[in-house]
Amino acid sequence: MKFDYNKSLGQNFLKDNNIINKISDSINPKTDDLIIEIGPGSGALTKHLINKSADVICFEIDKRLESILSEIKADNLKIVFDDFLKINLKDYINSKYNRLFFVGNLPYYITTAIINKIINESNPYEITIMIQKEVALRFMASPHTREYSSISVFLQYNFDIEKICNVSKNCFEPIPKVDSMVIKLKRNKKIKSKNEELLYKLIKASFKQKRKNLKNNLNNYDLLKIESLLNNRNKTTKCRAEELSVDDFVYLADNL
């Protein structure tokens, strides 16, 4: 494809049909669901998404792609040329839709901002994203590993995370510096915390300084109470945040 790729917009277009098929095959909406694609680029994935029975809305920031994307004709497709981070998602999510399926080969520098926006402004059923491999490993990390961080706990509290496939950097044009991974975040049915506001604050504070223990990182909270709660779970405030499971954090938030 002859196109002047804009590096600052994270424009690395997927050219490997095998990967495109794998992503598409993993998305299975019904007629009354809505697919939202972020950054369709030249429409490699969009062309597959329109063959699903659901409506598809794409958000693409780069107006130069209009002539290419306008060649994709389908009654169930709407393409909005705007910055996904600036639009009001609620304006596009009609109550007639049952479940929301988000999908995107995301520009890496705004991966977290996009996920936060989706979670804050909608109730996603499923988010299928291609992201930098290292970041994907952090999202899926288990306790007691170097990669386990506040984002792992936050996402695993809300979603079951499944790896779809690894993607070599050679599958893109132009070739980026890093390898990627496609993962699916699926809203889980875990019992939710009675105090999510406190839960999120505790997660953030506990990982504030990764090398320090909970006693240091949670010194703004009632440490005696935290000690006794952690003892109930065979842990102490001398532990580091990476030793606590998602359930440990929920237990703390619900009982503090």
- Residues at the contact surface with ligand SAM, assessed by CB under 6 A: 9-14, 38-41, 44-45, 59-62, 83-85, 105, 107, 110
Task: Name the residue with tokens 């288990």.
Answer: 142
- To the nearest 10°, report the CA torsion of 205, 210, 215, 221: 0
The least distance separating ligand SAM from the CB of residue 58, rounded to whole angstroms, comes to 9
Q: Which is nearer to ligand SAM, 24 or 158 (CB)?
A: 24
Point out the residue whose Cβ comes nearest to ligand SAM. 39
Which H, E and C letters describe 24-52, residue by residue?
Answer: HHCCCCCCCCEEEEECCCCCCCHHHHCCC
The least distance separating ligand SAM from the CB of residue 38, rounded to whole angstroms, comes to 6
For residues 96 and 88, what is the distance between their CA atoms, to the nearest angstrom? 18
Residues 6+ positions from 233 with CB-CB distance below 8 Å: 248, 251
Q: Which is nearer to ligand SAM, 29 or 107 (CB)?
A: 107
The least distance separating ligand SAM from the CB of residue 112, rounded to whole angstroms, comes to 13
**Residue 242 · residue 235 · CB < 8 Å:** no
Q: Which is nearer to ligand SAM, 143 or 176 (CB)?
A: 176
For residues 161 and 154, what is the distance between their CA atoms, to the nearest angstrom? 12
Q: Which is nearer to ligand SAM, 60 or 242 (CB)?
A: 60
Q: Which is nearer to ligand SAM, 30 or 64 (CB)?
A: 64
Reduced to 3 states, what is the DSSP secondary structure of residue 59? Answer: strand
The least distance separating ligand SAM from the CB of residue 23, rounded to whole angstroms, comes to 9
The least distance separating ligand SAM from the CB of residue 141, rounded to whole angstroms, comes to 24
